[in-house]
Amino acid sequence: MLLSTDVSLPNDVQPEFPDCCVVCSCKPDSCAELYVHSRSSFLVLLLPVLMFSGWSRIKVPVCKRCRGRFFLQRWGRSLVAWATIAVVIWGVSLLIPHWEATDKAMVILGAGMMVALQYVLLEGLLPRKFDLSASSTKTTYEFKSSSAAFEFYLVNRNNHPDADIRIISGD
């Protein structure tokens, strides 16, 4: 996530969150379960059966007031991006039969760039309050608030002193 403060934990370390909502920093009265896939996207493309393994579930503290907004922010962006792709492809497919082959390629390339730009601008100008990503060796917790990231770092550093826990500031 652009302009976030990231904390990376090894996959064998169970994350522990401070007693505050990841969205608004108030005392949480609920939690959200997030699923993260730690397999390489390239390997999943080569062998799709890998998509069914490598998932882990992480419980994140969220207050009930922020829970809907948290999921809307997490999944709504992806839905908007995919809906935009579908509309652009549909619109271009209606117009393409009237163009020459070189024009078709340029239109498809331009449409793809517009969709990618929309996603990059949305993530850059309105970053998510919290997100996470995983690789085969570590999970990265991405916080918009650097103070929330530092609290998360301290809790996990104190509870797992031997683990390779890192904090990276994007500010």
pLDDT tens-place string over residues 53-76: 556 678 889 999 988 888 887 778
pLDDT in tens, 126-169: 778 888 887 778 888 888 888 888 899 999 988 888 777 787 87
Alpha-carbon distance 23 to 62, whole Å?
7
State the Cα–Cα distance between residues 75 and 69, nearest whole angstrom.
10
Please choose, from the candidates 58, 23, 53, 57, the residue with its C-alpha nearest in 3D space to the C-alpha of residue 39: 53
Residue 132 contacts residue 36 (beta carbons within 8 Å): yes
Q: Give the C-alpha separation, 134 to 38, whole Å.
A: 5
Give pLDDT tens digits for 85-133: 788 777 777 777 766 666 777 777 887 787 778 777 877 777 788 888 8
Mean pLDDT of the chain: 78
For the stretch 74-90, pLDDT in tens is 778 778 877 887 887 77
pTM above 0.75, yes or no: no
